[in-house]
Structure 1
Amino acid sequence: MSDRDTRHQQAMQKLKSRVDEKITQATEQRGLLLVFTGNGKGKTTAAWGTVTRALGYGYRVGVVQFIKGLWECGERERLAKDSNLEVAIMATGFTWDTQDREADTRACQAVWADAQRMLGDPGVYLVVLDEITYMLKFGYLNIQVVKKALEERPAEQTVIITGRNAHRELIAMADTVTEMQEVRHAFNSGLQARRGIDF
């Protein structure tokens, strides 16, 4: 065995030891609160990937889309026929298009009622609150109301929150926070969003 192979084997043995120790220490079983935030692309896509994973195991999943609901969504189209998936959509589209705070607040509150029902249902294994961060930022939802619903959800239920500028209180209570960082985005160079890639 060469020196390089020996060093590689020793490094992998150390890594395995650290990973095994972490696995041994991970003894708690419960649902998680995941936050996908940041100004980079991929937050909703990551959430839909987890939806697909949960559905693949036969779990019930609820998705609430607060912003992009009127847009085409390839993942939603592909998974819509799965009887274990429920999708609730805030059917106003982008808030910068509507420019009507009162109507947007009403639409948000209506779809939030669906979210609360899902968050209260022990049979729903995963709930995605897609782009809810904007609802908090614009004042359509109260952070304390959202926190209470999250804190009182069934112990086995996992929730994914997506959107830029996640509220600091959501970040503080989350089990996992992933920040998508934009290095470059095609849209900023004049490239249109592409069907089947961006939506």
Structure 2
Amino acid sequence: MQKEKSEMNENERHTAKMQKKKAARDRIMESKDGEKGLIIVHTGNGKGKSSSAFGMIFRAIAHDMPCGVIQFIKGAWSTGERTMIEERFSDLCSFYAMGEGFTWETQDKERDIAAATKAWEKAKEMIRDEKNKMVLLDEVNIALKYGYIDLADVVEFLSREKPEMTHVVLTGRHAPQELIDIADLVTDMTMVKHPFRSGIKAQKGVEF
């Protein structure tokens, strides 16, 4: 009997605590009525930057929101996301794989600059098109780090020309501070463990 009473008291305390938490949360939510197109940056040394960004692209597709993807580095790779979009959702999502691999693979800086410049021009075209509700610039931070495209141009374009309700997602390690400063949402993926360091190669369905 005493145990049942104790359990009831515990449940009542939990209910009261959750009611207070819900009331506080509701008050916060009542004050959040703004809406805008976000500049979103996924950076850091951990895995998940592109994976998370593609998750948002698929979420946009599920909401019948036209969107687009420009890949600045991984264009030479065959990925599950690219296959899925091109084969099943090309009516809602335009996919441009414009990179030719990482710089240590191409070993041709002029070629890398030309590819990144072309990708950036396509990115601007897609962002300016207000029918696109979300545009993913995959691994653009790598192109910025190596100086393949001009950081000042990217920052100025996103600050001045991005349509008000268009979301732009930028991924890749080493996001520059100038980009972080203008972003609305920044996530830094921290690596705790990675199988590559234990001799495990990239796995289908996990990495690509």
Deviations 1:51-108 (A, max 9, x none): 0010111111111111112112101111213111111122311111112111100111
1:162 counterpart = 2:168: no
Structure number with larger C-alpha Rg = 2
C-alpha displacement of 1:30? 1.2
Aligned counterpart in structure 2 of residue 17 of structure 1, from 7, 18, 23: 23
* Counterpart position of 1:135: 143
The structure where helix makes up a greater share of residues is 2
Corresponding residue of 1:3? 9
C-alpha deviation, 1:4, in angstroms: 2.3
Give per-residue Cα distances to partners, 1:7-28, cap 9 Å, x unaligned.
Answer: 3222212221222122111121
- CA distance in structure 1 between the aligned counterparts of 2:64 and 2:151, rounded to whole angstroms: 32
Cα distance in 2, alignment partners of residues 91 and 174 from structure 1:
24
| Matched-pair contact (CA < 8 Å) for 1:55–1:84 | yes
Q: Which amino acid aligns with 1:52?
A: F
Asked if the contact 1:119–1:149 (Cα under 8 Å) also holds between the matched residues in 2, the reply is no
Structure 2 alignment gaps of length 5 or more: 1-6
Instruction: Kindly state the Cα deviation for residue 123 of structure 1 after the two structures are TM-superposed.
Output: 0.6
Q: Which residue of 2 aligns with 1:33?
A: 39
Aligned residues: CA RMSD: 1.2
Q: 1:150 aligns with which of 148, 151, 158?
A: 158
Note if contact 2:85-2:95 (Cα within 8 Å) is conserved in structure 1.
no
> Structure 1 127/2 Cα, relative in aligned 2: closer, same or farther at 3 Å?
same
- Structure 2 residue identity aligned to 1:181: T
- Counting only pairs closer than 5 Å after superposition, residues 68-83 of structure 1 correspond to structure 2 as 68-81=74-87, 82=89, 83=91
Shift, 1:148, TM fit: 1.9
SS state of the match for residue 76, structure 2? coil
TM-score by length of 2: 0.91
CA distance in 2, matches of 1:132, 1:67: 8
- Tell me what 2:63 maps to: 57
Q: Which amino acid aligns with 1:143?
A: L
Aligned equivalents of 1:15, 1:80: Cα separation in 2: 44
- 2:95 equivalent to 1:106: no
- Distance of 2:154 and 2:95 partners within structure 1: 19
The number of residues matched between the two structures is 199
Q: Which residue of 2 aligns with 1:173?
A: 182
1:129 aligns to what SS in structure 2?
A: strand
- For structure 1, the 5+ residue unaligned runs are none
**1:128 alignment partner, SS class:** strand
In structure 1, C-alpha distance between the alignment counterparts of 2:71 and 2:153, rounded to whole Å: 18
Aligned structure 1 segments of 4 or more residues deviating by more than 4 angstroms: none
Quick check: 145-154 or 38-47, which moved more? Answer: 145-154
